[in-house]
Amino acid sequence: MQEAPTETTKVSTSLRELQEISFSERAAEGALIFVVIFLLPGRSKEHFMSGINPKVLTIYLVKKAGQLILSLFVLSLMVFFIARIAPGDPLRAYYGEAVERMSQVQLEAAEERLGLNDSLITQYVHWGQQALQGDFGISYQYKQPVTQVIGQVWSNTASLVAASFAAIFLLGLLLAVFCVRHEGKWPDRLICRLGVAANSIPEFFVGLILILIFSVSFNLLPQSGANSLGGGGFGDHLLHLILPTAAIVISHLWYCAYLMRNRLSDEVAKEYVLLCKVKGLTERQTIYKHCLKNIMPSVMNIMVIFLPHLLGGAYVVEMVFAYPGLGKLGVDSAQYHDYNMLMVICLLTGAIVIVANLAAQVIHETLDPQSREERGQML
């Protein structure tokens, strides 16, 4: 008899706590998504350190590092051999029209100097040794070390990709939540239709339309470059980022949002959601407080799978907006048969995606140890 009232008070206090939380939640609905993200690494670390003994951990890390190195090795091998079977003439790219006026002796000397005479394997070993020291050869087009040319523009691509990635992540989640809350009703169906349509428009065309509307017709935003002529400040760079980012977001948002929506809609059908409802949480509270947190590992996977698409999209959009970055560099070097440059851009992009993939795998496996087994069985 004595226990019953304490139980009820406990329940009522916890309910009150929940309601208190709910007030702050309602105040900052969007900000909560950030909280969820920030909670993730903290959680995983705690979990990671507590359960596993150091020896197992070391083996695990060594295995992952081995995987990484192997993938990068095969990637470099592939890219190198594709570049070297090229019939296009690197000599011509390097010396231009002068090649035709060179004598046979001069030609051979030039080939020797660029290392084009050795067997492919020797060339690869030679190239690999230098690459490990950070020397990826010279760009035939710019007559500068490749790394130096890339060093000048990579930050532009990074800011574009980071801005679009963040925008797609946030908007995708919000859109997913919105769709799930109206699942099956007209707003959801409308968004699904629009999303599918937007997703099938090529990104360069979205970019062109944006230029036509915002630069040519209304003259609101700059249509090309990463900075105004003569260089501007940070604000100027942001202004130049708006249209390219918008183009990427419009053409790629649905790819992520749709996968997130499906995942969230599966989650909402689970039984604990009913429990939350019984406890008196509103639908919004349940989704933001519980469901989003639970689907975060899958969302992370989605974003990683999406990364190569995003990078590819960014490269194309860079061309449309004449935005000096890796993509523009890549397309330009393709036209000048500058294979050294193209190789490094392919390698760099592949390496970023592989590292991101592996990082996501590690985080996912520490969050959810079951997935390791599943993956083992699946592959």
Partner 1 sequence: MKKLPCISILLLTGILAGCLLADLFIPYDPTYMSLTEISQAPSSVHLFGTDTLGRDLFSVIWYGGRISLIIGLLATLITTVIAVIYGTISGLASERIDNLMMRFTEMLLSIPGILLVIFLQAIWGEASVWSIAVVIGLTGWMAIAKMVRSEVRQLRSSGFVLAARTMGGGFFYILWTHLLPNFMSAIMFMIVTNIGSAITMEATLSFLGAGLPADIISWGSLLSLSQRAMLTGCWWMLIIPGLFLIVTLICITEIGEYLRTRNRRDRLM
Residue 323 near residue 246 (C-beta atoms within 8 A): no
255 burial type by CB count under 10 A (0-12 exposed, 13-18 middle, 19+ buried): buried
Contacts of 56 (CB under 8 A, 6+ apart): none
- Rank residues 35 and 331 by Cβ distance to partner 1 and give the closer one: 331
Amino acid at 333: S
Least separation in angstroms between residue 116's CB and partner 1 is 15
Token pair of 330 as six digits: 């890549």
Q: Report, in Å, the least distance between residue 176 CB and partner 1.
A: 16
- CA torsion 321→326→332→334, rounded to 10°? -130
Residue among 212, 205, 285 at smallest CA distance from 250? 205
Cβ contacts of residue 103 below 8 Å, gap of 6+?
Answer: none
Q: Which is nearer to partner 1, 32 or 163 (CB)?
A: 163
Sort 314 into a burial class: Cβ within 10 Å, 0-12 / 13-18 / 19+: buried
Q: Is the Cβ of residue 32 or residue 314 nearer to partner 1 in the bound state? A: 314
Q: Could you tell me the smallest distance in angstroms from the CB atom of residue 347 to partner 1?
A: 9
By beta-carbon proximity to partner 1, the closer residue of 44 and 333 is 333
Q: How far is the CB of 337 from partner 1 (least distance, A)?
A: 6
Which positions lie near partner 1, rule CB under 8 A? 71, 74-75, 78-79, 82-83, 85-88, 196-197, 199-205, 208-209, 211-212, 216, 308-309, 311-313, 315-316, 319-320, 330-331, 334-335, 337, 339, 342, 345-346, 349-350, 353-354, 357, 379
C-beta of 264 vs 281, nearer to partner 1: 264
Closest distance to partner 1 from the beta carbon of 109 (Å):
25
Judged by CB, which is closer to partner 1: 94, or 288?
94
Residue nearer to partner 1 on the CB measure, 300 or 311: 311
Residue 28: CB minimum distance to partner 1, A: 33
What gap in Å lies between CA 191 and CA 79, rounded to an integer?
40
d(CA 219, CA 213): 8
Q: What are phi and psi of 65, to 5 degrees?
A: -65, -40
Residue 174: CB minimum distance to partner 1, A: 22
Q: Please, what is the minimum distance in Å from the beta carbon of residue 130 to partner 1?
A: 21
For 174-235, the DSSP string reads HHHHHHHHTTTSHHHHHHHHHHHHHHTS-HHHHHHHHIIIIIIIS--S--SSSS-TT---HH
Residue 153 near residue 142 (C-beta atoms within 8 A) = no
Angle among Cα 149, 153, 155 to the nearest 5 degrees reads: 135
Please, which residue, 139 or 357, has the CB nearer to partner 1?
Answer: 357
Q: How many other C-beta atoms are found inside a 10 Å radius of the C-beta of residue 54?
A: 8
